[in-house]
Amino acid sequence: MTSEEFDTKLDKYYKESHDELKDEFKQKLAELEKIHFLILMNTVQKL
């Protein structure tokens, strides 16, 4: 394997793992927004 091939494989690997992390982050963010919304609604009901 040449260094160019290695670099290409490395780039591809980093891009794939980065996309995976990005998806996971979006999922966690959506969960947090949901929780925040529920707390907000709960607070409004108590007023």
Average pLDDT on 3-26 reads: 90
Q: What per-residue confidence (pLDDT) applies to 14?
A: 85
Q: Specify the pTM.
A: 0.57
Q: What is the mean pLDDT of residues 14-34?
A: 92
pLDDT of residue 30: 96
Give the pLDDT confidence score for residue 39 in this predicted structure.
96
Q: Report pLDDT digits (tens) over 35-46.
A: 999 999 999 998
Q: How far apart are CA 16 and CA 8, in angstroms?
A: 12
Rg (the chain; Cα; Å): 20
Q: How many residues does the chain have?
A: 47
36 vs 1, which has greater pLDDT?
36
